[in-house]
Structure 1
């Protein structure tokens, strides 16, 4: 379980998160939604210790994030930040192999190679594993970064806006792969999304944020309704149930 107790974050003196209390457990996909500046990315970054907390405590399976050695924490959770800068002359397989470093510390064994092969297979990268990162499309590059997180072998995978710059095909395929990983590999995936309909279709739980606070936290059916979405985004969004899912008509 990931637990946040009274967590606040201020960056350069500006409050970003305010008194967050949250439990993330039970596997599946949890989507964080909300407008720009809501604190979604800061929340996942604080969990992964990429930004310091101003107050409160974050634990992962009972381990205090602020006090846990980096290698130990990296065996519990993996994060894919928004920053998409990757050394261009790395090959896909080499990038995915980096996910195993917390385990082998530079001396990969058979189980590490097997984990990389599994990640390449699940994220449909086997046919391009020898290609250099700088020759890939945006969708292929995002799949490679997600595969690296998966190869890390952690119970928790944190993804910060992984659909950025992806066309509708690659976005759908990546979300379907993440759903497969959550269902078949018992991984807990916490993902920051701007597309409400991807959250509706693929998430088990949605946490809606605004101004550094949690506005709603429940199933897609309960969060993705007109009244809640208006309080989160500040305008009325019509929602229709299509194929059993609450689909937002925010372009109308």
Structure 2
């Protein structure tokens, strides 16, 4: 009886240790899930998932038809590649969402990049914005031009630290310019599935910032908004940007994602 009792106690002790170890592993996994942005998944269709972070603690926004919305960004927001700049995705959001849109896009600029004509980086451009609020929502788009402005190590790896600093400065400047206006960040665009590592690093930096600040972030790269097989139909080879049809698709993809963040989605 004594040996059986000892053996039974040893089995119980071992079971307790195993359960405790499992609880620790589960706890670490849950904590990781809380602190890391979930990976995006996409099949390349218009129904593709495009957000890198849709946090449960972020309020949805009340932006019904007729609301005033500001789109701020680079050449994609300006409409480069379309025969008429007014065919750009930002302008098309007016018809798709029923919003009164204000578009401020300047090609070649970025969070860091001042543009080929020294138009100013995002902080400078935001500080001198002539767009008068109030707005119900701001879509802050960009990042494509910043990869070339980042320093590199001797091994050729880019250092995204300056970008992180500039993104925070630009975001804070936008908040100061339009207090109490929700901001959704829209990341850099790729016109095919193959994305160079530098642009991916920029996308990841913006995503990490948005996650840390509790801001919705939309990644056209993660969502694979444009496929290589669509290039001939949707991309203007002269500029390397979407053409009118390409911006139509971009606007549709953006509408779907924005609707996920609205109190009342817009049909």
- Fold match by TM threshold 0.5: no
| TM-score (normalised: structure 1) | 0.30
Normalized per residue, which structure has more helix? 2
TM-score by length of structure 2 reads: 0.29
Structure with the higher fraction of residues in strand conformation:
1
Bigger radius of gyration among the two: 2
